[in-house]
Structure 1
C-alpha cells in the first residue's frame, strides 16, 4: 500500500502542464494504452481523491456511430465484472469517457508473466467473465471482442470486461454481417463473410480465452487471415494434457465449428467448472442503479458542496455529468469497489 501511495504521489507530481485538464474535476496523469480509435489515460478525480481511467475518443464523423453505440451500451451496463462508466464529457474534438480504474491491468499480462494460470485462478476469472457475458446477453448485448486484453483485473483480483466499441444490441432472430474482432479469437463463421448469429461469436471467444489461460498460448496461431481461416475451419487444436477434464470439456464445447451447436451462455453457466467456482467464491452482488439515491452518499456530497435536489435530478435523468460522476465514484468506493482510491491512507 505504501508503494501504491508513492506511485500515486509521483504520478500527481508528474501531471503535465502541457496538456490542459479536460475538466476542472480531473488531473491527467499518464497514458495507460492505445486502441484503434482511442487512447486511455490514468486521471485523478479531485473531489473524491480517486484514480479513474479516461478513454479519449477523437471525434471523427466516420466513427460517430461506433462511439455513440459504445456510449449507449456502457450507460446500460451495471455489473460488478463490467467496467463502470462514471462521466461522459463531449467537446468539439474529443469525447471523454471517465470510467473506473482497474489497477492491476490486463489479464493478458498476468498470463504472459506466469506462462499460464493455475486452474483454480483460471476457473475463478473465467467464471467472473462468464457472469459478465451472461449479463450482456440477458440485455441483448453482444460484445464481439472478448479477449485477454479486454479483461482488466482490479486490486482484489476481480475481472472487469472492458471495451464495448464493437458491441451491438441484437434483437431476437437478428443476423449480422461483417468481419470484426481480433484474429486469434475470430470464430469460423466470420471467415465465411455471410450473415451470422452474434451470440455464438462471444461463446467462441470465451473458448479461446479459457484455452489461453490454462495453456499459455492460442489454440490457433496463424499470422494471416487466410492461414487463420484454414486452421480455424479445420478445427485442429491440441489441449495440453495437464488440463482437467472439466475445463477440457468446456473448451471442446465452446470451440465447436458449427455455431448452431455451440452452447449458449446459460448452458456454460450450468457446467461443473462454473458451479464449483461459484461455490468457492459466490458471485459479487450487483450494485443498485442510482435511481434511489443513497442517503449517506448524498450526505457526503452535500458536505462537498453539492445540492441534494441537483444530485437527485442528475441521477433521475441519467445525465452522466460531474454530479452523477461524483455520486457513482463514491458508490464505487464501497467495499465492493476497487481499492485504487485514497492510496495514501
Structure 2
C-alpha cells in the first residue's frame, strides 16, 4: 500500500516538473528577449551598435563563469577574418575569444569578461590620468600590440574604445575586425580603415603604408590622450581633423612629462620611417618600470598543449562528466572555438584561478608563521632580560637612560650601560616583530573584506 502511494507521488512530481518545463518553454518562445544562446544564459544588455548587441552572460557547464556575448551579422565582410585572427591570440592583455556560435542569421562571439570599462569611458570619467598609471597602461598596450605584430599581423584600429580594463585596471585589447596579415617591409597595405582621428598621415593620403607604422602612430595618439584627457587632432568636422593630422603638430601642455613628450613626438612623426619599432618603444626609459614584464611575456614559450598537470586534471574531470576528451583535444588544437573548446578554456581558467588563490593563501600562511616565530623569539629574549631589568631598577638606572652616570661608577656603570643598550636593542626588535605581525593580520583582514565585497 505504502509503495503504491509513493509511486503515485513520484508520478505526480514528474508530471509537475514536465508542466513547469513546458510553461518555461512557452514563455521563452513568446518572449521578445533571448534567454539562452548555446551553453550560455544571457544576462543584462551592456552594449548596442550597428554591429549588433553585447550581453553579459554565464556559462552553464562551469557553474556560471562570466563571459561577454557579442552578436554580429553573418554578412559582415570582416567577421570571418576577425574570428580567424582573434582565436590565435592568447596573451594576458588581449581579451580571449572562447567560442563562436553560428545561428541562422547571427554569429555570436563569446569573449572574456572585463569587469572594468572601455578606456574611452574611463578617461571621460577620470580626466587626464596620473603619469604613473599611464606608464602601466601604455606599456601593457605596447606589449599586446607587439604580440600581434609577432604573429605577422597588424591591428589597424587601435583606439581608446577598443581597449578594455579588467577589475585590476589591466589592459585587454579587443576588436580585430580590421586586422590583416603583414609580412614586413616587402608587404605594404593600401586600404584605409579605422577611425579618422587615430589614422596616420600616409593612410589619409591614400598611399601604400607599412602596417606596423600605422599602429605605432595610433599608439602615439593614445599616449597623448591618456596624459592630456583629449585627442591631439580631434574636430567635429572630419575634413578639419584630416588637415590637422597632415599639417599640424600636437600642442603639449606644461604638465606633460618631458620623457613622455619625447616619446610621443617620435611616435607621431609625420614620416613613418622615423617612428620607432615596438621593441624600441619597450626600451624607452619612460617605460622602464613596466617594460621588463612585457618583454618577459613576449619571450615566454607556451608549454605544449595538454602537458601540464592542471590541464591533465581538467581533462580527466571532463572525461568523468562523459565528454569525449579526444574530441576536446582535436578541437582545441585546431582552434575551432566550438562548444567543447570554449568549455575547456573556461574550465581551465577557473581551475587556474583556484590554484593561484591556493598559492596566495599558502604564502600568506608562511609569512604569518614567520612573523609569529620572530615574535616568539623576541618574547623569549624579553623573558631572559627580565632579571637584568629588575637589577637595573634596583641600582637606580632607567632602561631608557643607559648613559646615566648617577649611582655606580667604574665597571658596574659600564656593565649597566651595556645591559641597558642591549635591552633597548631587544625591545626595538620585539616592537618591530609586533608591528610586522599586526600589519600582516590587518592586510589579511583587508583582503578577506575585499573578496567578500567582490
Same fold at TM > 0.5? yes
Query: More displaced, 147-156 or 165-174?
Result: 165-174
Answer yes or no: is 1:323 the counterpart of 2:365.
no
Is the 8 Å Cα contact of residues 192 and 203 (structure 2) preserved in structure 1? yes
Q: Is the 8 A contact 1:102 1:338 kept in 2?
A: no
Asked if 2 retains the 8 angstrom alpha-carbon contact of 1:290 and 1:315, the reply is no
Match of 1:31 among 37, 40, 45: 45
- Residue 93 of structure 2 corresponds to 81
Which deviates more from structure 2 when the two are superposed, residues 230-239 or residues 158-167? 230-239
Q: Aligned in 2, Cα 1:280/1:86: closer, same or farther, shift over 3 Å?
A: closer
Give, in whole Å, the separation in 2 of the partners of 1:226 and 1:336.
52
How many residues align? The count is 326
> 1:276 maps to what in 2?
289
Give the number of the structure whose alpha-carbon radius of gyration is greater. 2
What is the match of residue 161 of structure 1? 173
- Residue 337 of structure 1 and its aligned partner are, at CA, apart by 11
Please show how residues 1-345 of structure 1 align to structure 2 within 5 Å: 17-21=31-35, 23-48=37-62, 49-60=64-75, 63-64=76-77, 66-172=78-184, 173-278=186-291, 288=302, 291-292=305-306, 294-333=311-350, 334-335=352-353
User: In structure 2, do the counterparts of structure 1 residues 155 and 301 end up closer, same or farther at CA, with 3 Å as the change threshold?
Assistant: farther
Partner secondary structure for residue 87 of structure 2: helix
Farther off after superposition, 172-181 or 262-271: 172-181
**1:196, distance to aligned residue in structure 2 (A):** 1.5
What secondary structure is seen at the aligned counterpart in 1 of 2:255? Answer: coil
More displaced stretch, 283-292 vs 221-230 = 283-292
Give SS of 2:332's match.
helix
The corresponding residue for 1:11 is none
Change (3 A) 1:75 1:343: farther
- Partners of 2:189 and 2:294 in 1: CA distance: 36
Aligned counterparts of 1:110 and 1:283: Cα–Cα separation in 2: 28
Q: In structure 1, how many angstroms separate the alpha carbons of the residues matched to 2:230 and 2:294?
A: 27
Hey, what's the Cα distance between the residues in 2 that align with 1:186 and 1:303?
A: 52
Question: Is the CA contact (8 Å cut-off) linking 1:156 and 1:338 kept in structure 2?
Answer: no
Report the aligned-residue RMSD. 2.8
Which deviations, in whole Å up to 9, do the C-alpha atoms of 1:157-198 show, x marking residues without a partner? 110000001111112322212321112211111221222121
What's the CA shift for 1:223? 2.0
Distance change (3 Å), C-alpha of 1:106 and 1:304 = farther
**What residue in structure 2 maps to residue 7 of structure 1?**
none
SS at match of 2:61: coil
Q: Tell me whether 270-279 or 128-137 shows the greater mean CA deviation.
A: 270-279
Report the 3-state secondary structure (helix = DSSP H, G, I; strand = E; otherwise coil) of the residue aligned with 1:31. strand
Q: Which runs of 5+ in 1 are unaligned?
A: 1-14
Judged with a 3 Å threshold, the aligned counterparts in structure 2 of structure 1 residues 72 and 30 are, in CA distance, closer, same or farther, namely same
SS at match of 1:71: helix
Deviation at 1:338, TM superposition (A): 12
Alpha-carbon distance in 1 for matches of 2:356, 2:61: 17
- In 1, the alpha carbon distance for the partners of 2:88 and 2:122 equals 29
* Distance (whole Å) between structure 2 residues aligned to residue 260 and residue 104 of structure 1: 36
What is the CA–CA distance in structure 1 between the aligned matches of 2:220 and 2:111, rounded to whole Å? 28
Identify the structure with bigger relative contact order (alpha carbons < 8 Å, sequence gap 6+): 1
Which 10-residue stretch deviates more, 210-219 or 282-291?
A: 282-291
CA distance in 2, matches of 1:337, 1:162: 27
- Partners of 2:286 and 2:98 in 1: CA distance: 33
| Structure number with higher helix proportion | 2
Equivalent residues of 1:235, 1:257 under 8 A apart: no
What secondary structure does 2:190 align onto? coil
Displacement, 1:110?
A: 1.5
The alpha-carbon deviation at position 248 of structure 1 amounts to 1.1
Gap change, CA 1:55 and 1:287, over 3 Å in 2: farther
